[in-house]
Amino acid sequence: MKSLVNFISVDSVEKSTIFEHLKCSKVEAAILQYLAKKYMNGEDDVLILEILQDLFTRDNYEYLDHLFEIKELLELGWLHQQSFTPIKISEVASLELLNSAVGLSPSFLKLLEMGTLESDLPDIKPYGDHLEYLQDQFFRIELYQKMSAIRQNVHEHSLGIDRIQNKLNLLEKRIEERVAQTAEKLVLDKFFKQKKMDVKEQVIFIALLREEYSATETSLREMNALIELISLDEYERIKNRSLLEDGSNLISAGIIDYEEMLNPFGGISRAFYIVDEVLQSIMHPHKNKKVRRLKLNALIDEQDIFELIEPETSLDDVVLSEKTQETLQNLMRQVNKEVVARLVAWGIKDKKSGIDARIIFYGAAGTGKTMTAYSLAKSLKRQVLAFDCSKILSMYVGESEKNVRKIFDTFYDLSEKTKSEPILLLNEADQFLGARSSGNITGSDQMHNQMQNIFLEQIEKFRGVLIATTNLLENIDKAFSRRFDYKIEFKKPDEKQRLELWKMMLPTDAPYSKDVDVKELAKYSLTGGQINLIVKNTAYKIAVQEEPLFSQKDFIDEINREKDANFDSEKSMGFLSR
CATH of the domain at 62: 1.10.10.580
Q: What predicted TM-score, i.e. pTM, was given to this entire model?
A: 0.48
Residue 119 has pLDDT above 80, yes or no: no
Structural domain count of the chain: 4
Q: Are residues 415 and 481 in the same domain?
A: yes
- pLDDT of the residue at 289: 44
Q: Are residues 45 and 79 in the same domain?
A: yes
Strand pairing class (45-47; 79-81): unpaired
Q: Are residues 174 and 320 in the same domain?
A: no
Non-local (6+) Cβ contacts of 470 within 8 A are: 360, 361, 362, 428, 429, 430, 433, 476
pLDDT in tens, 4-40: 899 899 988 888 988 888 878 899 999 999 999 999 9
Q: Are residues 418 and 377 in the same domain?
A: yes
Phi, psi of 464 (to 5 degrees): 135, -160
User: Is 289 contained in some domain?
Assistant: no
Instruction: Tell me which DSSP letter residue 264 carries.
Output: T
- How many CB atoms neighbour CB 54 within 10 A? 12
User: Is 577 contained in some domain?
Assistant: no
| 112-116, 332-336, 482-486: least confident range | 332-336
Q: Are residues 444 and 568 in the same domain?
A: no
- Give the long-range contacts of residues 123-131, CB within 8 A, separation 24 or more: 124/174, 124/177, 124/178, 124/181, 125/178, 125/181, 126/178, 126/181, 126/182, 126/183, 127/178, 127/179, 127/182, 127/186, 130/186, 130/187, 130/188, 130/285
- pLDDT of the residue at 44: 86
Q: Are residues 462 and 526 in the same domain?
A: no
Q: Are residues 377 and 485 in the same domain?
A: yes
Higher pLDDT, 107 or 156: 107
Identify the domain containing residue 82 by its residue range: 2-117
User: Is 288 contained in some domain?
Assistant: no
- pLDDT of the residue at 577: 38
Q: Are residues 444 and 461 in the same domain?
A: yes
Mean pLDDT of 399-425: 82
Across the chain, what does the average pLDDT equal? Answer: 80
Q: For 303-360, give the secondary structure using H, E and C.
A: CCCCEEECCCCCHHHCCCCHHHHHHHHHHHHHCCHHHHHHHHHCCCCCCCCCCCEEEE
> Per mean pLDDT, which of 310-324, 337-351, 458-472 is the most reliable?
458-472
Give me the count of residues in the chain. Answer: 578
- Contact assessment for residue 250 and residue 256, using Cβ atoms and an 8 Å cutoff: yes
User: Is 85 contained in some domain?
Assistant: yes
Q: Look up the CATH number of the domain holding residue 367.
A: 3.40.50.300
Phi, psi of 516 (to 5 degrees): -70, 120
Q: Are residues 419 and 516 in the same domain?
A: no
User: 387 - beta bridge partners?
Assistant: 426
pLDDT in tens, 338-354: 777 777 778 776 655 55
| 121-125, 209-213, 307-311, 432-436: least confident range | 121-125
User: Is 461 contained in some domain?
Assistant: yes
- pLDDT of the residue at 515: 93
- Contact assessment for residue 199 and residue 207, using Cβ atoms and an 8 Å cutoff: no
Residue at which a domain ends, from 117, 133, 168: 117
Angle at 404 between CA 402 and CA 406, to 5 degrees: 70
Reduced DSSP (H G I as helix, E B as strand, rest coil) percent helix, strand, coil of the chain, to 5: 55, 10, 35
Residue at which a domain ends, from 260, 283, 306: 283
Q: Are residues 137 and 259 in the same domain?
A: yes
Residue 100 has pLDDT above 60, yes or no: yes
User: Is 337 contained in some domain?
Assistant: yes
User: Is 29 contained in some domain?
Assistant: yes
Q: Are residues 272 and 186 in the same domain?
A: yes
User: Is 252 contained in some domain?
Assistant: yes
Residue 576 has pLDDT above 70, yes or no: no
- pLDDT of the residue at 198: 92
- pLDDT of the residue at 220: 75
CA dihedral 228, 231, 232, 237 (to 10 degrees): -90
pLDDT in tens, 476-494: 767 777 788 888 888 888 8
pLDDT in tens, 351-403: 555 567 888 888 888 888 888 998 888 877 788 998 888 776 555 455 666 77
Q: Are residues 347 and 473 in the same domain?
A: yes
Residue at which a domain ends, from 69, 96, 117: 117
